[in-house]
Amino acid sequence: MLFAGLIYRDIEIEESAKVKLVDEFGEIYQQSIPIPFNFTDHYNKEMGEGLKREFISFKKLMNVDNLPMIKIKTNEMESDLADSSTDNRKINIDPGYITAEKLVLATTKNYGHRPYLTDGIYAELTYRFIKKSFTTLEWTYPDYRTEEAISMFNGWRKWYLEKLKENKFCPQIMQITAD
């Protein structure tokens, strides 16, 4: 199940990003309510203060082999929506996927715990599913550690597993191709 984490300040940019995401990856299944992104100031210099965090998930299932191409496409979306005078991003879009066993994020940053996939993209195991819930790891980001985030992702995992059982969406697995 494909999802994306969004960090932004401007609601118009968030809405434009969602249009691009839906055009590329299909209908949204659910979205979280925006919350203040006060877990770190990492993005403040580039994007300003007063940032918000939001998550969205998609109805169409993806092939996990497509994660690098999806990250490349979301990076292109970030560039399309960037400030033309400074090239600073106005939105951060981090795609990932949920399976029965785990939640994985795509990133362009290499660290010891991130295996290389292809084309400058790495994978980050963010949660493992243990004892009826997603569980964090030592490197799980603070905004993914909240009870609300874990509960939401557990709910999305449940929906994903129900859809697999019903076999309704399996023929519609998204294939991403390079332009």
* DSSP sequence for 81-126: TS-TTT---SEEEEEEEE-SSEEEEEES---TT--EEETTEEEEEE
Residue 178 located in a structural domain? no
pLDDT digits (tens, 9 = 90+) for 46-103: 999 999 999 999 999 999 999 999 999 999 999 999 998 898 999 999 999 999 999 9
- pTM score above 0.85: yes
pLDDT digits (tens, 9 = 90+) for 126-178: 999 999 999 999 999 999 999 999 999 999 999 999 988 886 555 455 555 54
Residue 164 located in a structural domain? yes
Structure token digits, residue 75: 């990076």
Residue 177 located in a structural domain? no
Angstrom distance (rounded) from CA 152 to CA 158: 10
Q: How many domains does the chain have?
A: 1
- Whole domain around residue 107: which residue ranges? 2-172
